[in-house]
Amino acid sequence: MFKAVMIEKSADGTQSVAIRDVPEDQLPEGDVTVRVEYSTLNYKDALAITGRGPIVRSFPMIPGVDFAGVVENSQHPDFAPGARVILNGWGVGEKHWGGLAQKARMSGDWLVPVPAQLTTRQAMEIGTAGYTAMLCVQALQREDVTPDKGPVLVTGAAGGVGSVAIMLLSRLGYHVVAVTGRPEEEAYLTGLGASEIRARQDFSTPGKPLDKARWAGAVDVAGGVILANVCASMAYGGVVTACGLASDMSFPSTVAPFILRGVTLVGIDSVMCPKHRRLAAWAGLAELIDAAKLAAMTSDITLDDAIEAAASLLDGKIRGRVVVRMP
Interatomic CA distance for residues 28 and 91, integer angstroms: 13
Q: Is the pLDDT of residue 320 over 90?
A: no
Peptide bond into 327 cis (omega under 30): no
Domains in the chain, please, with CATH? 2-114+297-325 (3.90.180.10), 128-267 (3.40.50.720)
The fraction of the chain above a pLDDT of 70, given in percent, is 100
CA distance readout (Å), 322 to 124, 269, 278: 8, 21, 21
Specify the pLDDT at position 82. Answer: 98
| Exposure of 268 in the CB half-sphere (CA atoms within 13 A) | 33
State phi, psi for 249 to the nearest 5 degrees.
Answer: -80, -20
| Average pLDDT along the chain | 95
Question: For residue 149, which of 204, 241, 101, 217 has the smallest C-alpha distance?
Answer: 217
pLDDT digits (tens, 9 = 90+) for 184-208: 999 999 999 999 999 999 999 999 9
Specify the pLDDT at position 39. Answer: 97
Specify the pLDDT at position 316. Answer: 83
Split at pLDDT 50, 70, 90, the class of 327 is confident
Split at pLDDT 50, 70, 90, the class of 317 is confident
Mean pLDDT within 221-250: 96
Question: For residue 208, which of 224, 229, 227, 222 has the smallest C-alpha distance?
Answer: 229
pLDDT digits (tens, 9 = 90+) for 9-24: 998 989 999 999 999 9
Q: Is the pLDDT of residue 54 over 90?
A: no
Specify the pLDDT at position 53. Answer: 86
pLDDT digits (tens, 9 = 90+) for 105-154: 999 999 999 999 999 999 999 999 999 999 999 999 999 999 999 999 99
Which residues are CB-neighbours of 123 under 8 A, at least 6 positions away? 38, 68, 86, 114, 115
Specify the pLDDT at position 144. Answer: 98
Specify the pLDDT at position 289. Answer: 92
